[in-house]
Amino acid sequence: CFPRDNRAFAALAKSVFANALLAEATDQLNNYQIERLLRICEQIAEFSFGDVPQIKLKVGILGLSYKPDTPVVECSVACALANKLICNFDVFAYDSLAMPSATQICDKRVQMVNSVDKLLYEQNIDILIIATASNSWKRNGNSKMELKQLKRLDKKCTMEIIGHHINGSCQRRILVAGGAGFIGSHLARRLLEDGHYVICADWKKNEYFQEDEFCNEFLHMDLRAFDNCLLATKRCEWVFNLAADMGGMGYIQSNNSVILFNNTMISFNMIEAARQNGVQRYFYASSACVYPEHIQTKENVAALREEQAWPAKPQDSYGLEKLVSEEMAIHYSKDFENMQTRIARFHNIYGPQGLWKGGREKAPAALCRKNRKR
């Protein structure tokens, strides 16, 4: 219904001592949407530029009428939103039927454009708000271009993902360090499916997944460098640190010094960068290699317990670094009350899209490969 119809219906209901709850709720919801969308745009600007107030994002509004396929802009949410956004954003708008009327009530700084194409692809907009049901655009124009443009618009998923991160049921900005690895990419994909905004950082690319299959952003960087760790953890709420120079036992035993140097740099720099950037929760991926090697010489041993890692005699330098970094995570959690830490000791993880050749694969994958060659 049009706004005046809602008001008339509500007045009629009151005259006969009845309630027009649906009509009243519609108006309340429309007013709420203005403030909600304004907050989302402000949060996107904060995520994009932080404390750089002189930079204005460009917002595109598709649809200005109160009701699709009409020129009526009375009580239009889109027009009211445009008038609020113009204070901090550059605003562009298009509506084939409602623009003439909208120019009379919109702030003069709101720029009206004459096609969907110009709105989407000539103004370099950063945020797109579709204020009118998208199927109405199929009827608004006679050309096939508008339908084609809407299909192209569907591929512009970046803002939709950011909006979900800000306003959806899951509101976490999460870094997965080592996100191109086997465990990291599977973890990142699960977090992405759960609606989180996922950033992966790694010094290599994933050979099985396209980046948009498991993360929103991929940072190709060396996490041994502290500045890179600071950049990767910026504005993140949670950090999962799975980054490590690792492989099977053949690789580890042939590269002890390199592994100890690389992984110590990664682990120490990552947790300190997370602390400096105010990360709330930090997960550290440890390994069964922290346990003394002599435990592995016995068959039918009882299930391992955490305290069995001490007295320390871990397996190779890989296990030594993991044990030290576990202690670092424990002490950070004790010393800095705003930062929680979690640790897991992984045991020979394997599965789909895992390494199975080249020397860095784990024992289960190596056994499968060798058995297949027989």
- pLDDT at residue 228 above 50? yes
pLDDT tens across 111-125, in order? 999 888 888 778 788
Cβ burial, residue 203 (10 Å; 0-12/13-18/19+): middle
- pLDDT at residue 23 above 80? no
- pLDDT at residue 170 above 70? no
pLDDT on residue 179: 95
Decide which of 3.40.50.2300, 3.40.50.720, 3.10.620.30, 3.30.465.10 is the CATH code for 169-373: 3.40.50.720
Q: Which residue has the higher pLDDT, 5 or 255?
A: 255
**pLDDT tier at 168, thresholds 50, 70, 90:** very low
pTM: 0.55
Q: Catalytic site residue 318? A: yes
E strand intervals along 50-152: 58-62, 90-94, 111-112, 127-130
Average pLDDT of span 129-156: 49
pLDDT on residue 176: 98
pLDDT on residue 331: 98
Per annotation, catalytic residue among 197, 284, 291, 318: 318
Burial 55-82 (b: 16+ CB within 10 A, else e): eebebbbbbbbbbbeebbbebbbbbbbb
Distance of CA 197 to the CA centre of its chain: 1
Q: In the chain, where are the structural domains located?
A: 3-162, 169-373
Length of the chain: 374
Do 3-162 and 169-373 show the same overall fold?
yes
CATH classification (class only), 3-162:
alpha beta
Q: Which residue has the higher pLDDT, 14 or 144?
A: 14
pLDDT on residue 171: 64
**Checking DSSP bridges between strand 111-112 and strand 90-94, what pairing results, if any?**
parallel
pLDDT tens across 301-324, in order? 778 888 988 888 888 899 999 999
